[in-house]
Structure 1
Amino acid sequence: MGLFRGGRGSGRHWPGRKPEPADEPIDPARPELSDTDLHAQVEDLILRELGGTPLLDDVPTPLSVARIIAWFEEHEFSYFLDNDGDLGGLWRGRLFYFFLFGEDSEILQIRGQWNREAAIERLEVVLEACNEWNADRIWPKAYVRVRDNGMVHVISEVATDLEDGVTDAQLGQLLNCGLSTGNMLFDAIDELFPDPAAAAP
């Protein structure tokens, strides 16, 4: 349903607004509006007519490691850069990495690792738990890796394509999502395999 169906001179006007003449003279002294200014005026008009509030000026900008670090520092989170230059940190004792993939580093991947490991004999149970998680929830993707020593590691992963950029608020939401849902997964695995050292003898 179009908001402006009919157009000027169609005999249809917004309530309470004085009708404009069908053939408004063009003022040669009036400068032409740029596409950006015209877009802003249209947004303001729609918001006024619909009783909305002004749009925020938070414009999406390209993703970068520096922006992720700035978010960490703003929230006083500890972080590190490993020997490969990968950005990581510990949250509730769980290791999380923050990778940028794609030709323009536009894909953000937040990958967490359970702070414990399971024996290979537990692999079927762990796989079933991950499959149930993935069937019931959108975030994070849960999967396992079997190390060379035969131990099973549980991994969480949240990936987002930010080709069109991301605002600071959106980036904060994505980082919070990757960390909080990853820890929710690991809490569920902890419940499945309680840590014997955490229980009183």
Structure 2
Amino acid sequence: MDSRAQLIDRVNALHDEGEHQKIIALIEQLPPSSMGYELTCLLARAYINYAQPYMDSFSEHINRAAELLRSVEAEGLSDPLWYYRIGSALYWLDQEESALTYLEQCVAMDPSNAYAPELIEQCKRALDRRRIVRPVDFARLVSYFEEKDYTYEVEDGRLHTGFTHGFFIFSIANDGTDLCMWSAVREEVSMELRSRLLQGCNDWNSSTTWPKVYVATLDDGRQRLCAEQFTIIRLGMTDAQLFDNIDRFISAAEAFFKDQIERVPALGGTAE
């Protein structure tokens, strides 16, 4: 067995063990001119498998895989695995329309591919999420939290949940015309801190479009820092639009709360 065949066997063994980072290190120590078609494709496969959505470098790794595959496109056009791999890379880059073309070609050339059909369905679902406008009801609101696997409770037609810095309430309001998103810092503070909280809200509201933030005075005089946003839904939304609105509200409210807790430590439970 020659050294290249041994290297490919070693790469495939590492792949079976899930050691994708080791594969990248092993292949990338070779001069690029000596890699050839098969090792280039195996390196691209390793980048796709190594990349995880939680990584800051996720898109960079997937783009690297796509570049590698395009560099051997002339040979890949006769290889169904090449179509599958570049289709996978494009799917993870949110280029589902292009991905679909490659994945369907993979299946046409190799109907026995066990993975391409599922990825094709995922592409179609992703495209539908961006294209199909549907009425927004409470069930669709709940579906966001189900898909994200977030913990939540439903009470009186409102969805309650919590994140790092605040608790959140979501509902369909005004006879179904608005999505109401509300949140507040977990800790309430004394009236003496109201002016500092108001200044933080004024700074945010003057420089940021959404969400609106404000200070609420409770019955006992304690001060609660809140964020709120109403989004018009009477004309319906795609899943992507709905989910993006919820995502942005949560991330923006959490960012605001984090900043204010740093400015006013009592909001984080620190003694005043």
Same fold (TM over 0.5): yes
Q: In terms of Rg, which structure is larger?
A: 1
Work out the CA distance in 1 between the residues paired with 2:267 and 2:218.
22
Alignment partner, residue 239 of structure 2: 168
Task: Provide TM-score, normalisation by structure 1.
Answer: 0.66
Q: Which residue of 1 aligns with 2:195?
A: 124
Deviation at 1:197, TM superposition (A): 7.8
Q: 4+ runs of 1 displaced by more than 6 Å?
A: 54-57, 196-199
For residues 102-134 of structure 1, what are the alpha-carbon distances to aligned partners after superposition, in whole Å with 9 as ceiling and x for unaligned? 23x120111011111121011111111111110
* Partner amino acid, structure 1, of 2:217: V
Q: Distance in 1 between matches of 2:216 and 2:227?
A: 11
For residue 184 of structure 2, what is the amino acid of its counterpart? Q
- Give unmatched runs, 5+ long, in structure 2: 1-126
Distance 1:66 1:120, change over 3 A: same
Kept after mapping to 2: 8 A contact 1:62/1:106: no
Structure 1 residue 139: deviation in Å? Answer: 1.4
- 1:92 aligned partner: 164
1:81–1:88 contact (8 Å) kept in structure 2: yes
1:62-101 mapped onto 2 (5 Å cutoff): 62-82=135-155, 84-101=156-173
Provide the aligned C-alpha RMSD in A. Answer: 2.3
Distance 2:210 2:162 in 1: 19
Equivalent in the alignment of 2:75: none
Describe the shift of the 1:196–1:74 C-alpha distance in structure 2 as closer, same or farther (beyond 3 A). Answer: closer
Give the match's secondary structure for 1:143. strand
The letter for the 2-side match of 1:91 is F
Q: 1:122 and 1:116 mapped to 2: Cα distance? A: 13
Aligned sequence identity (%): 27
Number of aligned pairs?
A: 144
Q: State the TM-score, normalized to the length of structure 2.
A: 0.49
Secondary structure at the counterpart of residue 62 of structure 1: coil
Letter in 2 for 1:62: P
Are 1:111 and 2:182 an aligned pair? Answer: yes
